[in-house]
Amino acid sequence: MKSFIPVLISVIPIPILMIAFGVLWEKHPPKIINWIYGYRSIRAMKDDNTWKFANLYQARVWRWSGNILLVFALIFSLNFTKSYKEIPAWIFYTELGIMILTIIPAEIALRRKFDKEGNLR
C-alpha cells in the first residue's frame, strides 16, 4: 500500500486537471479572446463565435477524455505498484500525449463548422 500512494499522486493530476477545466469552461467559458487562458489556436481566435465554440467543444472533449484517463490511471496504479518507478512515468507521458492529441478533434470540428475567415458554413 505504501508504494500505491506515490504512484497515484504522480498519475492523477493530468486527468483531474482535464476534468476540472472541462467543467469550468463548460460553465464559465473564457469571455474574451486572449493568449493566456482558454483554448488557443489561430482558427479558434478568429472571432467571438469561433472562440466560444472552440472553448465549449474542448471543454467537452477534456471532460470526457479526462474521465476515461482517470479510470485507466487508477486501474494501472492499483495493478502495477511493484514497479512503481517506471509505470507512473509511462502513464504520465501517455496522459500528456492524449491531452495534446485532443487538439485534433477540436481543430477538425472548427474546420467543419467555420470557414477560414471564421464565418459559419
Distance CA 120, CA 99 (A): 27
120 is a domain residue: no
Enumerate residues 6+ apart whose C-beta is below 8 A from 39. Answer: 25, 54, 55, 57, 58, 106
Distance CA 97, CA 61 (A): 14
Residues of the domain holding 67 = 4-113
Tell me the HSE value of 101 on the side-chain side, using a 13 A CA sphere.
Answer: 9
Q: How confident is the model over 55-83, as a mean pLDDT? A: 87
102 is a domain residue: yes
33 is a domain residue: yes
Count of domains observed in the chain: 1
On the question of pLDDT at 105 being above 80, the answer is yes
pLDDT digits (tens, 9 = 90+) for 73-103: 888 777 766 666 677 778 888 999 999 999 9
Q: How confident is the model over 109-113, as a mean pLDDT? A: 96
The whole-model pTM stands at 0.87
39 is a domain residue: yes
**Cβ pair 73, 91 in contact under 8 A:** yes
pLDDT digits (tens, 9 = 90+) for 3-37: 667 777 888 999 999 999 999 999 999 999 999 99
